Amino acid sequence: MARSMCWHCQSEVAGEYFCERCVKVQPLSKEQDYFTCLGLPRLLTIDATGLENKFYEMSRSFHPDFYQTKTDTERTISLGNSALLNTAYRTLKDPIQRAEYLVRLEAGAVKEIRNQPPADLFEEILSLQDDLEEFRAADGQPSADLTALRTKLQTDREALERRQQDMESRLFDLFETWDRLQRQFEPTEAIRAKKESVLKEMRELLSNRTYVRNIINDLVATVG
């Protein structure tokens, strides 16, 4: 735990929310990751109720409502801490965002934005996009072709939704693998290599999932 000085009484603080000597609120370190912020190990399976309780407890410590009568410095700290806490909670609460965040932390890379369809979906998506273009071009003029096209696009959408579900369940399997590896006290070279491959697969899955999700949204918006 990083050691620093209390902004108020200069006594040493070691990551506590409040200085032990003068009881003033301390700013959360900007370098702190969201897991540390919420007092969690870097694991992907999280007990939702436990996380919520921790968030509520910390909100009670930091929320600006409780600093209205305090000094300007304390109010600024409370505002910054609350904003960080809220972002940390929002990110970790959602499993997909949680995984994206962890991959970014561990692998250091920024989230990739995919412009091309995933390889195994390439043909399927190209033909789907052609159909979607055709549907848009028809501009809602009713015809037998259009009705058939709509049905086809709806079937495609259902297929993509199943695809998304498959990717998510694979992702959740990887959550467990990751957590098991992460719990090893003395990671061997083999474990490190395995972790790296899990991260790589998760990154690929997350990026493909986002791509598929966007196509589904597009389909919903156009075809309904």
Q: Does the protein bind other proteins through residue 89 (CB under 8 A)? A: yes
Should residue 86 be labelled a site residue for other proteins when binding is judged by CB under 8 A?
yes
- Other residues' Cβ atoms within 10 Å of the Cβ of residue 118: 18
Cα 48 to Cα 155: distance, rounded to the nearest angstrom: 34
Q: How far is the CB of 220 from other proteins (least distance, A)?
A: 12
**220 part of the interface to other proteins, by CB under 8 A:** no
Question: Under rule CB under 8 A, which residues in 29-68 are in contact with other proteins?
Answer: 52, 56, 59-60, 63-66, 68
Of the candidate residues 26, 82, 91, 208, the single one contacting other proteins (CB under 8 A): 82
Query: What is the dihedral angle through the alpha carbons of 192, 193, 195, 200, rounded to the nearest 10 degrees?
Result: 140
Sign of CA dihedral 204, 205, 206, 208: positive
Region binding other proteins by CB under 8 A among candidate stretches 11-19, 75-83, 114-122, 136-144: 75-83
DSSP state of 25: B
CB 80 to other proteins: min, Å = 8
Query: Please, what is the minimum distance in Å from the beta carbon of residue 18 to other proteins?
Result: 16
Please state the closest distance from residue 183 (CB atom) to other proteins, in A: 30
Told to check if 7 binds other proteins by CB under 8 A, we report no
Determine if 83 is a binding residue for other proteins (CB under 8 A).
yes
- C-beta atoms surrounding 127 within 10 Å: 12
- Do the beta carbons of residue 208 and residue 114 sit within 8 Å? yes
Number of shown-chain residues binding other proteins (CB under 8 A): 18
Helix axis angle, 48-62 to 72-93, nearest 10°: 170
* Contact residues for 210 (Cβ-Cβ < 8 A; gap 6+): 114
By CB under 8 A, is residue 90 in contact with other proteins?
Answer: yes
Report H helices in 139-188: 144-182
- For other proteins, the closer CB: 87 or 169: 87
DSSP 59-73: HHHH-GGGGTTS-HH
Q: Does 210 bind other proteins (CB under 8 A)?
A: no
**CB-wise, 49 or 141, nearer to other proteins?**
49
Q: Which is nearer to other proteins, 90 or 183 (CB)?
A: 90
Contacts of 99 (CB under 8 A, 6+ apart): 44, 171, 175, 202, 206
Interface positions with other proteins (CB under 8 A) = 52, 56, 59-60, 63-66, 68-69, 79-80, 82-83, 86-87, 89-90
